[in-house]
Structure 1
Amino acid sequence: MSTIAVRAARLRSGLVLPYAEAGHPEGVPVVFVHGLADSWWTFEPLLRRLPAALRGYAPTQRGHGDAERPPDGYGPRDFAGDLVEFLDAVGVRRAVLVGASSGGVAARLVAGSHPDRVAGLVLAGVPAVLADKPGAKALREKVQGLVDPVPRAFVEERLSGLTARPPGRGLLATLAEENLKVPARVWRETVRGLLETDLAATLRGILVPTLVLWGDADGILPRADQQRILDTVLGARFVVYEGAGHALYWEEPERLVLDVAAFAAEVLPDRPGP
C-alpha cells in the first residue's frame, strides 16, 4: 500500500489548495481531479493502491473540502485554470490527468487548451453533456434552496445514488463529511457553472490520448452520453466496468488503478523526469 502525504500548494493567484500525494517520487505524474462537492479523499482508495511506477497528486478544488473559498469563480474554466497553476506549483511539467465525474470537465478543458502539459486524459464517469439530464436539472433545483449548514440528509441522499454497490462504510462516512464542508453558495455556483457551460464544446479540440471509463450500471450517464465523447474525441478508447455505477472509482479502485497505470505507461514511457 502506498503512503499518502497531505500538503498545500499555493497557486500563482494566491489561492491555497490542499492536495494528497502518493506513489514513487520518480513515477509517472498522474493528477486526479475530483467532481462536485468532493475533495482529495475521493481518491484515497486509489492513492493507497498506486504502484511504484506512478506518482499521484490529488488536489482539493477551490471551495471544496479544506481548500480556500474565494467569493466567486466556480465555473469549469475557473477550476481548469487552477489545475494548470497547480501543475506549476508542484513542479509537474507534463502529467496524465484523471477526471472523475464532473471533475473530468476541468481536466478535458486543460487537455484541450494546454496539450503540452497533458500526456494523456482519463475520463471516469464523466458526462459529455449535463443540461439534457433530468437528474442534473433536479439537482439544480435542490441546490437553489440550500442554506448553511447544508443538511446531512441532502448529502447522504446524493451520495447513495452514485454507486451500484455501496462502498465501504468508512469511506462513505468520510465522503459525507467532506461534502458537508462545501458551503451552500459553492454548491449553487458550481452546479450553475456546469449547466450553463457548453459542455459539448469542451470536448472539441482534444488531441491527447484519451481513455473513457464507464460503469454500465451508471444511473446518471447513459451509454449514449459516453458515445458522444467517443464520437467527438479522436481515437478515444472505451472501457466498460460491468456492474459498476457512476462512481466506479469507489467501487473498483484496484481495477481502475491498473487501467490508469497501463495507460500512463503507454503515453509517458521511460519518462526522463517530472
Structure 2
Amino acid sequence: MAAVAVHNAVLGEGRPMLPYAEAGRPEGTPIVLVHGYLDSWWTFEPMLRAMLPGLHAYAPTQRGHGDADKPSDGYRPDDFADDLLAFMDSVGLQRAVLVGGSSGGVQARILAGRRPDRVSGLVLLGVPGSLADKPRVGEFWNTVRELKDPVDRALATDLADGLTATPVGRGFLKTVVDESLKAPARVWRETLRGLLEADLRATLTGILVPTLVVWGDQDPLLNRADQQTILDAIPDSRLLVYEGAGHLVYWEDPERVLRDLAAFAADRF
C-alpha cells in the first residue's frame, strides 16, 4: 500500500489555497487526478493507496470543495481549468497526464485543448460528452437550485450511492459524503450551474493530445453514444469499456484503472 502525503498548494494572489494528496515515487510519470462535482481528493484515495511504482500522482481538491478555500465566485469550468494550470505551476509540473473523473474531465480537457505544451496525455473516466440531453441531471438541478445551508445529508448520500454498479466500502462512502457536505449550498448550485450553462461539446474541440476514454457499461448517467461524442471530437482517442462497472470506475476497480493508466502513460514519457 502506497503512502499518501497531504499538502497545501498556494496558487497565487487572488487564487484559492488547494489541499492536495500526493503518492508515488518522485521519478514516476507525473499524473494529475482531477475530481468531479462535489468531490475532493478523497475520491481518488483508493487509487492513491494502490499507486504503482511507475506513477507519481497529484490529486488537488478544487476551489469550494472539501477543505479548499471557498471564494464567492469562480465556479465555471473555465475557472476550474485556470486553477488546474495554476496548481501545476505551484507544484512545479511542466507536463503531466491529466486524469479527469466524471465532470472533472471537463476542466481537464479544457486545459488539454488550450495548453497541449503542458499536457502529455488525457484520460477521461466516466466523463460526459454533453449534459444537455441528460434528464436525470436536469431533475437534480431542480433540487439544487433551491438548496439552502445546511445541505441535507440524505441528498448527498443518495447522490453518491447511486453512481456505482457494484458495492463500495461503507466507510469510504461515508468519507466522500462527508467531503461533499463541506461544500456550501452555493457551491453545489454555482458549480452545477456552470456545467449546465457551458457548451460542453465546444470544450472537446482542439484537443490534439493522446486521449483514453474509459466508460463503465452500467453507467446510470452516460451511455455509449455520449462517449462516442468524445471519440468523434478528439482525433487521437480510444475507448476502453469496463463491463459491469458504473459511473465511477475508479471507486469500483481502482487497481484496474491504475494498470490501464500506467500502460497509457508509459507511451507519453
The answer, yes or no, to whether TM exceeds 0.5 is yes
Distance 1:81 1:145 in 2: 28
Q: Which residue of 2 aligns with 1:83?
A: 84
Gaps of 5+ in 1: 269-274
Root-mean-square deviation (CA, aligned residues, Å) is: 0.6
SS at match of 2:173: helix
Between the aligned partners of 1:41 and 1:15, the Cα distance in structure 2 is 19
| 2:93 is aligned with 1:92 | yes
TM-score using structure 1 length: 0.97
Contact 2:66/2:183 (CA < 8 Å) preserved in 1? Answer: yes
Structure 2 counterpart SS, 1:72: coil
Instruction: Compute the displacement of 1:50 (Å).
Output: 1.0
Aligned equivalents of 2:170, 2:55: Cα separation in 1: 28
Deviates more, 1:166-175 or 1:66-75: 166-175
Query: What does residue 272 of structure 1 align with?
Result: none
Q: 2:8 corresponds to which residue?
A: 8
Q: CA deviation at 1:235?
A: 2.0
Alignment match, 1:128:
129
For 2:226 and 2:139, how far apart are their aligned partners in 1?
18
Tell me what 2:237 maps to. 236
Q: CA deviation at 1:142?
A: 0.8
3-state SS, counterpart of residue 167 of structure 1: coil
What is residue 103 of structure 2 aligned with on the other side?
Answer: 102
Inter-partner Cα distance in structure 2 for 1:139 and 1:202: 23
Give distance in 1, aligned partners of 2:29 and 2:236: 22
**Structure 1 CA distance, aligned partners of 2:263 and 2:51?**
12
Residue 118 of structure 2 aligns with which residue? 117
Q: Give the deviation of 1:52 after TM superposition.
A: 1.3
Once the two structures are superposed, the pairs formed by residues 32-111 of structure 1 within 5 Å of their partners are: 32-111=33-112
> In 2, Cα distance between the equivalents of 1:30 and 1:117?
12
Task: Give the match for residue 193 of structure 1.
Answer: 194
* Aligned partner letter, 1:186: V
Question: What's 2:211 paired with?
Answer: 210
Q: Which amino acid aligns with 1:133?
A: K
Distance 1:37 1:223 in 2: 24
Alpha-carbon distance in 2 for matches of 1:215, 1:111: 23
Q: Helix, strand or coil: the match of 2:235?
A: coil
Q: What's 1:144 paired with?
A: 145
Given residue 185 of structure 2, which amino acid in structure 1 is its aligned partner? A
Taking the aligned partners of 1:42 and 1:173, their CA distance within structure 2 comes to 11
Alignment coverage as a number of residue pairs: 268
Give, in angstroms, the shift of residue 51 of structure 1.
1.1
Q: State the secondary structure of the residue aligned to 1:267.
A: coil
1:21 alignment partner in structure 2: 22
Letter of the 2:148 partner, please give it. V
Asked whether the 8 Å contact 2:215–2:242 carries over to 1, the reply is yes
Identity score, percent: 62
Counterpart of 1:163 in structure 2 is: 164
How many Å apart are 1:14 and its aligned residue? 3.8
Q: Distance in 1 between matches of 2:43 and 2:170?
A: 14
> Helix, strand or coil for the counterpart of 1:238?
strand
1:22 aligned counterpart, secondary structure: strand
CA distance in 1, matches of 2:245, 2:225: 17
CA contact (8 A) 2:15 2:83 kept: no
**Which consecutive residues of structure 2, in runs of 5 or more, have no partner in the other structure?**
none
Aligned residue type for 2:109:
R
TM-score (norm 2): 0.99
